[in-house]
Amino acid sequence: MIIIIIAVIITLIIIGLVVFVYHETNWIEVNHYVVPMGDVEIKKPIEIVHISDLHMSPWSLPSTFRKTADFINSLQPNYIVMTGDFVTHFKELIPGCAKAISWLKPKVSMLGVLGNHDYWIDAGYICRSLEEVGVELLLNRCSPSKNGSNLTFLGVDDPYTGHDDLKSTSREIPGSHMSVLLSHSPDIIEDAADLGINLVLVGHTHGGQVRLPLLGAIYIPSKHGKRFDKGWFNIKNTKMYVNRGLGGIYPSIRFLCRKEIAIHKLVSGEGKPYLEEKKLIKL
């Protein structure tokens, strides 16, 4: 009898874990943040949707991105930014990935940088495919300000594979502008802080993808280890957000670390970023 009870308990625990992992893996957490940008005048809040690490693959096909794209479009953001790792291993998925991204329709522009997986597959092919569907790739360069805005986006090529050149890129920022840096890896943060970049948006870590109670992420691919795993960080006067990403490397499961869409509303004023709203959407 005791053996039967133990077997039932173990079975229920396993079922519960399977259901929990399925829920974590197949729901996206949508986080709306208000981000004070200091004394730079922002007459109307600027909304940026930040997504990262799509990692499109046979277990995360481009066609599955349609519902996510429709949701992002419903937000009517000024900008959509993407911080690398569009595909995981398969070059054949690059055209489908570009088509999926073409479903995104920001009010102003769509910007991106490459990640390490993009380089390991075919960076040139990915660049051409993304540019054809309207993505402005910022590979060690700035984007000209649009609509008379005093906001400058700049992006570095992938730091993880050593293609970044932030020092040269930062020279293009007009002195009166607030700066938003796109990078795949958070390892860029110290250089960004030394150069006085206002806001840094990155991905790469997946938040660990699998996190354990009390211990946190099992592994973070960063020279800083787990220090910059997910969420907000402040170094000197520079704010950085580490996005947990929308995909994952095989096995593409999540545990205590849901996939994420981050919406950053830039406003004038001092203070730390704060969470305005959180919701879940199903893939």
3-class SS letters over 77-107: CCEEEEECCCECCCHHHHHHHHHHHHCCCCC
Q: Given CATH 3.60.21.10, say whether it is the number of domain 2-282.
A: yes
Mean pLDDT across 262-277 = 96
Of all residues in the chain, the percent with pLDDT exceeding 90 is 74
pLDDT for res 283: 67
12 residue type, one letter: L
The pLDDT value recorded for residue 16 is 47
pTM of the model: 0.92
**277's tokens:** 């709203």
The confidence score (pLDDT) of residue 174 equals 86
**Cα 151 from Cα 177, distance rounded (Å):** 5
Residues 109-122: tens digit of each pLDDT: 999 999 999 999 99
Confidence band, pLDDT 50/70/90 cuts, at residue 14: low
Confidence of residue 19 (pLDDT cuts 50, 70, 90): very low
Cis amide leading into 186 (omega within 30) = no
Question: Rounded to whole angstroms, how far apart are CA atoms 125 and 107?
Answer: 26
- Report for 33-47, 149-163, 178-192: range of highest mean pLDDT: 178-192
- Average pLDDT over all residues of the chain: 90
Q: What is the mean pLDDT of residues 264-268?
A: 96
Q: Tell whether the model's pLDDT for residue 24 goes beyond 90.
A: no
Instruction: Give the C-alpha separation, 40 to 168, whole Å.
Output: 23
Q: In this structure, how many other beta carbons lie within 10 angstroms of the beta carbon of residue 251?
A: 9
β-partners of residue 38 are: 269
Q: Give the tens place of pLDDT for each residue, 226-242.
A: 999 999 999 999 999 99
pLDDT at 194 over 50: yes
| Residue 177 pLDDT | 86
Edge-to-edge strands, sheet with 231-235: 141-143, 151-155, 178-182, 199-202, 238-242, 231-235
Residue-level pLDDT at 20? 46
Token readout for 164 is 């970044």
